[in-house]
Amino acid sequence: MIDVDSIRETEWLFKSKNFLCYGRLPSTQDRAKELIKNGACKPGHVIIADEQYSGRGRFGSPWRSEKGASLTFSIIVENVPLLPMRAALSVLETLLDKCRISAEIRWPNDIVVKGKKLCGILVETYKQLAVVGVGLNVNETSFSLKGATSIRLETGKLFSREPILSYFLQTFEKTMKIDGVMELVRPKLSLINSLIEFETEYGIIRGEFLDLGDEGEILVRTESGIIKGFAPGEVKNVRRTYSMRTYSP
């Protein structure tokens, strides 16, 4: 069980009276939205589940977590620009400082180590507020899905979840207020300057991942040679590819 008393409150936003810890929940994301709807939650609330049995990721994909091993929580904040990137940077800093893991961002919302997914981030807006959901694999020793990893598998060590969450909250509070988010994100992008492919409603797009735009969109030189921007909501399953039709510049 998560020990709510050992989660440290932050200086101004995340206060311990607003930490809501549940033994078992379908989804912290959905509970956060219910609480907002009932007027029972405001910015600064943190909803944490020791066990989440119906977690979800982008486009409604299932998010699996293990009771007692995963860190699954949702925080409610004002809807400031570039929240997914701010959350991703905060996860990276937490992993580096608390666990000595150097991770990267697989745009838009995956945190990966050597290509394996360690954490997923889901940012949703609801009634003018934002709900930032984080699923971090902490002490899992195996996964049914290929391509996943945990802090334990990467370091060989067991970690308590509470200090990791405390550190994330402190870092996120700070990262919420910084300028120049994109400059910090760029060097952390796992696939920048690589050939990638992804799914859109118009089919699979292949191209070279050139940069991120100011709104956090991906800028891609597609197979036809055109440079096009794609927002996170338009794009599914971004992955590396090794071949692409050539174009004449």
Residues of this chain that bind ligand BTN (CB under 6 A):
27-29, 55-58, 61, 63, 72-74, 109-110, 120-122, 133-135
Give the residue ranges of DSSP H helices in 117-228: 151-155, 161-175, 181-185
Give the residue with the Cβ less far from ligand BTN, 25 or 99: 25
Distance between CA atoms of 125 and 8, rounded to whole angstroms?
26
Minimal distance, residue 146 CB to ligand BTN, in Å:
15
Minimal distance, residue 149 CB to ligand BTN, in Å:
14
Give the residue with the Cβ less far from ligand BTN, 22 or 228: 22
Give the residue with the Cβ less far from ligand BTN, 162 or 208: 162
Report how far Cα 86 is from the mean position of its chain's Cα atoms: 9
CB atoms within 10 A of CB 60: 6
Give the residue with the Cβ less far from ligand BTN, 53 or 247: 53
Give the residue with the Cβ less far from ligand BTN, 29 or 170: 29
H or E stretch covering 209 = strand 203-212
CB atoms within 10 A of CB 146: 7
166: left (phi over 0), alpha (psi -120 to 50) or beta: alpha
Give the residue with the Cβ less far from ligand BTN, 44 or 133: 133
Minimal distance, residue 173 CB to ligand BTN, in Å:
19
Minimal distance, residue 55 CB to ligand BTN, in Å:
4
Minimal distance, residue 8 CB to ligand BTN, in Å:
20
Cβ contacts of 187 within 8 Å, gap of 6 or more:
none
Minimal distance, residue 180 CB to ligand BTN, in Å:
25
Minimal distance, residue 77 CB to ligand BTN, in Å:
14
Residue type, 241: T
Sign for the CA dihedral angle at 63, 122, 128, 29 comes to positive
Half-sphere exposure of 111 (CA within 13 A, CB side): 29
DSSP letters, 79-114, are --TTHHHHHHHHHHHHHHHHH----EEETTTEEEET
Give the residue with the Cβ less far from ligand BTN, 61 or 102: 61
Closest C-alpha to 87, from 169, 189, 2, 190: 169
